[in-house]
Structure 1
Amino acid sequence: MLFDRVKPLSAILSAVERNGLPRTLGAIQLMLFGIGCIIGTGIFVLTAAGAQKAGPGLMLAFVIAGAVCIVAALCYSEIASMIPVAGSAYTYSYASVGELLAWTVGWALIMEYAIAASAVSVGWAGYFSGTILHEFLGIYLPPWLSAGPLVLGGSAGGFINLPALVIALLVTWLLVIGTRESAIFNTILVAIKITALTIFVVLTLPQAELARFNPLLPAGLFGGFGTGVGAVGAAATIFFAYVGFDAVSTAAEETKNPQRNVPIGLVGSLLFCTVFYILVAAGAIGTIGGQPIMGPNGVPFPAGSEELARQCALAQYAGNLVCSDEALAHVLRQIGYSGVGNFLGIAAFVALPSVILVLLFGQTRIFFVMSRDGLLPASLAKVHPKYGTPYVVTIITGIAVALGAAFFPVGQLADISNAGTLYAFMMVAIAVLVLRKREPAAERSFRVPAVAVVAPLTIAGTIFLFLNLPYAAMLMLPGWSLVGLVVYFLYSRPRSLMGAGKVEVHELDTDRLEPDTPGIADRGRD
């Protein structure tokens, strides 16, 4: 049967003790990991794109996305406190709905993290080339060294995005060195980002004008199925920025006292960042406006499209928020704070690597656990004898992300990354419901309040946002999943340790397992 390989909780926890990663992270470090990923991607990279989709309705979009994330975070908190291991939604699905669906989740997360990390690498490269090299050093990087040659539907006109390639490889090297060192580096960068954005809020909110929020929803609440515009369409796009709290759960295996610290890291980072999103969006739109540039049919031009670029080149749209590659720095320059705007640009340049770091961290941990389960080559799960990190999979992932960033302008692929994110969130909510029924007595240091309401809301919310992504993003997930199923049935399923009955279980737990538990009788005691 396809759905019979459900891994016992005791087996998952036993695998951690026998072949786990060192526990070095506390609650504050976990929260900072989440903040490091959430603040940066959405604020520094997607503010202009979100405004083009929703106009002032961007603030409502943050509320919508945040509401879905809150209910999802509650589900993550319960299940991560039950199963404090690496692997995130993949591991949770393995323990609830079985290996096949768990594989599809892990495969989707691989796509999600890789595309997101490449996208942010390209975003960082833009700040490096524009703010640091051009504005401060007077150096003009030629287009063939600052843009990739490939883009969906055309050519970007470059040869290689060298800065994006370099930053992805540098962050990969840092992750190989060790988790603790990565966390310290991330803490410094998060402090820089929070300081810069706090200054932005303080300077812009007092100058905000109510008239600039009218009309509030120029593209409507719902832009239409498959269009990706309107407040809901913008919410589906900026969901890209909430990958951070999912990455927190991937670090559960390396967390001290995970039953307490993982929920704190998940919910804390989410609430903190959502408030910041709303305040920054209000400051940006309230000071210089954020109305989208409409097409002839009354629908906003697609963010990142050639049509929008042509409109932004016209004099009448000079200074428009939706046309800026450095949205927040641009706002400050427009209201007379050029020096502070340049500082914020530098802060984005310095801080965006922390986003890449957390995304790479999460992706490599997914790979690590899947290989530990036999679904991917065992060599990927090798832990470095000196640094204690899964260095093989980290290096492979880093190279793939670096190449993607070097040759593809993947900033506009946030929607595709979101498809995998939303699928993973939905499966976590399903896993919570399944485990409540299957493992009612299991220890839960955190329990979702009103789970019969919260979990279905999470499922409905993720499906709702998925259906408001552009068509291309919606089609990418089933296409990628089809490739994954081919890999699963040709390679992974025949080599699965679970399928072979090689399931690691605590010695004391064996007596409490039912005799017909899959794989236990075949393995015996160690």
Structure 2
Amino acid sequence: MSEDKNLTGKVGGKKLFIIGTSSIVGPWLVLTSQWIGYTGASVILAFALCGLLCIPIALCYGELAGMFKTRGGTYEYVRTAYNREAGYWISWTTMFTYIVLICFQIICVTMLVQYIAGWAFSQALIIGISIALMIVMTLLNTRDLSVATTVQTLLFFVLVTVGFLFVACFFLNDAWSIDNIGPFFQEGMTGHNDIIGMDAGFLLAIAALVTMFFGFELIPQFAGEADYPPNKYWKLMAGGIIFVIIFDSIICLAELGMTSLDPTMTTYEYISSLYSSNGMVSAIFAAAYVGNWLKWFIVIANFCCMGCCLIGFWMGATRILHAMGSAGSLPSVFSKTNKHGMPSTGNYFVLIMVLILTLIALSGPAWINATFSLMALGVGFTYLGVSLSYLKLLKAYPNADRPWSAPGKAIMGYIAAASSLFMTLMMIWTVISAVLNGDPIMAVMAIVFFVIIGVMRYFMKKDEQKNPDRYVEEPILLSKEEAVVTAEESVVDMPVELNK
């Protein structure tokens, strides 16, 4: 292990866009039965509105990225606006989302493998495949950054090509008809999908589908390694969100228009019925109406999609831990990098946490809904923390160096905060509702994770009192004047040079 604390990888604008966008795109093959099951045809409108809710948040991230230049990400923004402790807890909600999402993707891979094999795997085999994937991701993140980003770029190209190909094949097929797209608001504003057995409705869809846009904030996380102007990050983030709105919406529209393979069910009901059997909606329709060749293309594309997500969020998680180690919120060992300039301690910590939460998720049958909802909950808290930090920094340092500013400034910040609060409250209710209905998996995963983090924090506080040299905070750089704030100072105590 190298003693160097710097991340030395380099990534250009195109790969930054792919890191963010490919991490946002969800594995539609295993998810559309749930997406469509929330609200029917209005899922397309839900995607659009949810994406629009995220754009103000992305614009706030974009302005902050320009302010911080070579340092970025949720942790840096929150600790600068408030303090190191606030940065610690908000960052762990981000980490929670990243780790739950990695668990989700890994289990989805095992579902695809089962689909290919044509038989149900034992729990032991599923766990074995999951652990093998975790080890592969850990090893990949020990190599030079260019290795992971190149692999991710190739996977993204395949998934996008196949995605648009299958959509075209569906739209041009005689089995596709606008008449198959049943009531627009299938479950009303709030309701329950009895076929799937989950809370549903248009409002819940908007809140839950935020997970399908989570990932754009990975881009500022690479500020120290980016070969791209930070004042232009907002273009990459907003562009990624718009791309996913279009991509996921047309996928849902393509599936909703296909004729149900069960004549006793509408297309909406048939798609919902595939949820419990882990049915691969687009692959099933492709095999029935187009040909097996398209089915296998779709399967390959979804492997690529999951690979993109795993690579992106694993890299993002290790960089959050590296940032917290550098700033003294975690022991300095977390700031260490290997000979390739990649986070080392954080890489293995992510492996351990992913293993723990994956085992918990697999302990119950409703793991898809559980992990999906928990991702949305973590997203809401993360975005709320950053939105409030944006507003605080805007007020405290109106004249700080901002190469690019979000339109409307404070107005945009309040819109972002309101959007984040809506997402958070809706998903808190989802978790509570699940517990009340006898499904405690979501609550157990959240409690176990934050108990571990809380215990860690307690012992780190004790250790910091005895060994303060292990928790030395790096300077916070907000402008060309390189103003410094210590761990004990608040934002209002920072040097006046920031306002020059």
After TM superposition, the score normalised by the length of structure 2 is 0.82
CA contact (8 A) 2:381 2:420 kept: yes
Deviation at residue 321 of structure 1 after TM alignment = 5.1
Instruction: Give 1:230's aligned amino acid.
Output: G
Query: Is structure 2 residue 35 aligned with structure 1 residue 50?
Result: yes
Instruction: Give 1:204's aligned amino acid.
Output: F
CA contact (8 A) 1:37 1:241 kept: no
Instruction: Trace 1:112-127 onto structure 2 (pairs within 5 A).
Output: 112-127=97-112
Partners of 1:422 and 1:511 in 2: CA distance:
31
Q: Which residue does the alignment assign to 2:213?
A: 242
Deviation at residue 512 of structure 1 after TM alignment = 6.9
Instruction: Trace 1:358-377 onto structure 2 (pairs within 5 A).
Output: 358-377=312-331
Deviation at residue 361 of structure 1 after TM alignment = 1.0
Q: Which residue does the alignment assign to 2:136?
A: 170
Query: Is structure 2 residue 122 aligned with structure 1 residue 143?
Result: yes
CA contact (8 A) 1:169 1:399 kept: no
- Give the secondary-structure state (helix, strand or coil) at the position aligned to 1:197: helix
Query: Is structure 2 residue 305 aligned with structure 1 residue 336?
Result: no
1:438 alignment partner, one of 396, 399, 406: 396
Instruction: Give 1:63's aligned amino acid.
Output: A
1:59 alignment partner, one of 11, 24, 44: 44
Instruction: Give 1:364's aligned amino acid.
Output: T
Instruction: Give 2:143's aligned amino acid.
Output: I
CA spacing shift, 1:332–1:423, aligned 2, 3 Å: same
Deviation at residue 199 of structure 1 after TM alignment = 0.6
Partners of 1:56 and 1:288 in 2: CA distance:
14
- Give the secondary-structure state (helix, strand or coil) at the position aligned to 2:227: coil
CA contact (8 A) 1:245 1:266 kept: yes
- Give the secondary-structure state (helix, strand or coil) at the position aligned to 1:176: coil
2:343 alignment partner, one of 390, 393, 408: 390
Partners of 1:202 and 1:240 in 2: CA distance:
26
- Give the secondary-structure state (helix, strand or coil) at the position aligned to 1:421: helix
Partners of 1:470 and 1:500 in 2: CA distance:
33
Give the count of matched residue pairs: 459
Could you list the per-position Cα deviations for residues 207-228 of structure 1 after superposition, in whole angstroms to 9, with x for gaps in the alignment?
442222221112112339xx74
CA contact (8 A) 2:337 2:343 kept: yes
CA spacing shift, 1:492–1:288, aligned 2, 3 Å: farther
Deviation at residue 231 of structure 1 after TM alignment = 1.7
Q: Which residue does the alignment assign to 1:426?
A: 384
Partners of 2:407 and 2:470 in 1: CA distance:
35
CA contact (8 A) 1:51 1:322 kept: no
- Give the secondary-structure state (helix, strand or coil) at the position aligned to 1:198: helix
Instruction: Trace 1:115-514 onto structure 2 (pairs within 5 A).
Output: 115-131=100-116, 133-134=117-118, 140=119, 142-147=121-126, 161-207=127-173, 208-223=176-191, 228-288=199-259, 320=273, 322=275, 324-385=278-339, 387-405=340-358, 408-409=361-362, 410-412=367-369, 413-469=371-427, 471=429, 473=431, 476=443, 479=447, 484-485=453-454, 487-492=456-461, 495=464, 503-504=474-475
- Give the secondary-structure state (helix, strand or coil) at the position aligned to 2:399: coil
Partners of 2:476 and 2:428 in 1: CA distance:
45
Q: Which residue does the alignment assign to 2:19?
A: 33
CA contact (8 A) 2:56 2:413 kept: yes
In the alignment, structure 1 segments of 5+ residues that lack a partner are 1-17, 135-139, 148-160, 295-311, 522-526
Partners of 1:212 and 1:445 in 2: CA distance:
50
Partners of 1:218 and 1:509 in 2: CA distance:
54
Deviation at residue 260 of structure 1 after TM alignment = 3.9
Deviation at residue 44 of structure 1 after TM alignment = 3.3
Deviation at residue 290 of structure 1 after TM alignment = 12
In the alignment, structure 2 segments of 5+ residues that lack a partner are 193-197, 433-441, 494-500
% same residue = 19
Instruction: Trace 1:70-109 onto structure 2 (pairs within 5 A).
Output: 70-85=55-70, 88-109=73-94
Partners of 2:32 and 2:187 in 1: CA distance:
16
CA spacing shift, 1:196–1:486, aligned 2, 3 Å: same
Instruction: Give 2:49's aligned amino acid.
Output: I
Deviation at residue 425 of structure 1 after TM alignment = 0.7
CA spacing shift, 1:427–1:142, aligned 2, 3 Å: closer
CA spacing shift, 1:321–1:212, aligned 2, 3 Å: farther
- Give the secondary-structure state (helix, strand or coil) at the position aligned to 1:463: helix
Instruction: Give 2:384's aligned amino acid.
Output: M
CA RMSD of aligned residues (A): 3.5
Could you list the per-position Cα deviations for residues 30-79 of structure 1 after superposition, in whole angstroms to 9, with x for gaps in the alignment?
111112211234x2332111122212222122122111111111111111
Partners of 1:511 and 1:359 in 2: CA distance:
30
CA spacing shift, 1:341–1:478, aligned 2, 3 Å: closer
CA contact (8 A) 2:328 2:474 kept: no
Partners of 1:464 and 1:486 in 2: CA distance:
30
Partners of 1:492 and 1:85 in 2: CA distance:
29
Deviation at residue 357 of structure 1 after TM alignment = 1.0
